[in-house]
Chain A
Amino acid sequence: MPLGSGETLRLSEKLKPFRERVKELSGEDVGLCYQCGACSSGCPLTDEMDLLPSTVMRMVQLGVEEVLNSKTIWICSSCFTCQVRCPRGIDVANVMEALRQLVLRRKYDRVSIDVLPPEELRELPQIALVSCQRKLTG
């Protein structure tokens, strides 16, 4: 099913394991989300995302594993604005990290600093390179 196609989804037994895996890895009870959209409205990076953070939360609730193909999980920079504003006390950044980890643990790296030209690599501070590698490589 294509992402965001608007089709009706129902939580079936078949879809439960994914939801449970995310819950276990993130430590967050995604079932608490009631889709108010506070995370999406405060997120500074939605311009670059294909799915809003609240849509990602809904897909995880419903157990739709295709959410792992979303660009959004790589765009989230863990700024924690959503964590501060969620009225249900969910740390959405933890959920995003869990989704990234599920992909990265399949021997996948989102980025490789090997492709950076030497002059760009030289100007980048260590703090940028280390945090980038920590977030986007396995």
Chain B
Amino acid sequence: MELPRWNCCGTVHALAKDDVMHHLAPVRVLLRVEETVEAGLVDEPRVVTLCAMCYNTLKRANHLYRNDSDKRRVIESIMEKESRPYGGKAEVIHLLELLKELGWEKVAKRVEKPLEGLKIAPYYGCLLLRPRGFGVDDPEEPRIMENLLEALGAEVVDIPFKSRCCGAYHTVFMKEEAAELSYKILRQASEMGADVVALSCPLCMFNMADRQGLIGRLFRDFKGIPVLYFTQLMALAFGLEEEAHLDENNPDPRPLLRERGLWR
């Protein structure tokens, strides 16, 4: 179920040691998770995220709240108008972790249209893996997205830039510099034979997909490559074509998928 009364986590974890104020937004989300258990809506205080940035921000705020009693007291005092203080019981997991927990065999059993013949380069970016101690997998040699794509029947293309920064928020005021970072990742994926790139961060998605028009204007050799959220590939493999919402991707991945016999 969707978390009732959720709010934006703030997108980035406040790194300065005296910056407590910016932890309020994620802690409020974590309190909502506990409240859903109290209301009898769910059994366990677990929250699943699909976004690398939410994952990082919620998980780090949770860790800080549980382990730093001074900051916890400050946060509690500012949140006095809430029904009660956050108890530190929420668990933050990424959907990839949940799938791993369910088991790749179980995921594979749900596949109705294996992504056979589709070469996919998984792209992790930064916050799904780093900083060390807060990622979904080993920060230097992750396998979790590869395991999922293999369960979906796809061929995995391992690119060295799979966890290199896409340019992140520099897309706002340094869009050409950010575009160059994304260009290098996408070009490497193409050169290594990938048909599409799979990822799990809305900001990476914007920089690596929606910015391809700009990338093409800056780098004349750039040919373009479809980029899909990993959940869209799951929907496709599970035979849920409408739920994949491929019409919302730019560039449009459908012509290539049609070529591979994976789209009507």
Picked from A24, A84, A123, A131, the residue with its CB within 8 Å of the CB of B17 is A24
Contact flag A128-B10 (CB < 8 Å), given A26-B16, A48-B177:
no
A131 contacts B126, CB within 8 Å? no
Nearest 3 CB-CB pairings of A with B? A80-B130, A97-B15, A132-B169
Q: A98–B126 contact, CB under 8 A? A: no
Q: In residues 80-102 of chain A, which contact B (Cβ within 8 Å)?
A: 80-81, 83-84, 91, 93-94, 97-98, 101
- CB of A131 within 8 A of CB of B130, answer no
List 14 contacting pairs A-B, 8 Å CB cutoff, sorted by A: A25-B16, A44-B164, A77-B168, A78-B15, A81-B163, A81-B164, A83-B131, A94-B15, A94-B16, A126-B8, A128-B171, A128-B172, A130-B11, A131-B12
Tell me, in angstroms, the Cα distance from A122 to B140 when the chains sit together.
36
Tell me if A6 is interfacial: C-beta within 8 Å of chain B: no
- 8 Å CB interface, A40-94 against B: 44-45, 48, 75, 77-81, 83-84, 91, 93-94
Give Cα distance in the complex from A82 to B19, angstroms.
22
Determine whether A36 belongs to the interface, using a CB cutoff of 8 Å to chain B: no
Q: Taking the complex as formed, is B106 at the interface, i.e. its CB lies under 8 A from any CB of chain A?
A: no
> A127 with B131: in contact, given A25-B16, A77-B169, A78-B12 (CB under 8 Å)?
no
Interface residues of B in 53-71 (CB under 8 A from A): 53
**Residues of B with Cβ closer than 8 Å to A?**
8, 10-12, 14-19, 22, 51, 53, 126-127, 129-132, 139-140, 163-165, 167-174, 177, 181, 202-203, 206, 210
**Neighbouring B residues of A45 by C-beta, 8 Å:** 165, 181
Q: Does A9 contact B (CB under 8 A)?
A: no
- Give Cα distance in the complex from A116 to B140, angstroms: 37
We find that the number of chain A residues with CB closer than 8 angstroms to chain B is 37
Mask of A117-135 contacts with B, CB within 8 angstroms, 1/0: 0000001111111111011
A45-B165, A79-B126 known; A135 and B12 CB under 8 Å?
A: yes
Quote the shortest CB–CB distance from B176 to chain A (angstroms). Answer: 11
Nearest-neighbour CB distance to chain B for A35, whole angstroms, equals 21
Whether A27 is near chain B, meaning CB under 8 Å from some CB there, is: yes
B9 → A minimal CB distance (Å): 9
Q: How far is the CA of A127 from the CA of B52 in the complex (A)?
A: 11
B131 and A80 within 8 A (CB): yes
| Given A79-B165, A123-B210, A129-B172: A26 in contact with B15 (beta carbons within 8 A) | yes
Cβ–Cβ contact A127 & B202, under 8 A: yes
**Complex interface: chain A residues within 8 A of B171 (CB):** 124, 128
Q: Does A32 contact B (CB under 8 A)?
A: no
- For A91, list chain B residues within 8 Å (CB): 15, 131
Q: In the complex the two chains form, what is the Cα distance from A124 to B206 in whole Å?
A: 8
Collect the chain A residues with CB atoms within 8 Å of residue B163's CB. Answer: 81
| Alpha-carbon separation in the docked complex, A54 to B93 (Å) | 34
In the complex the two chains form, is A97's CB within 8 Å of B16's CB?
Answer: yes
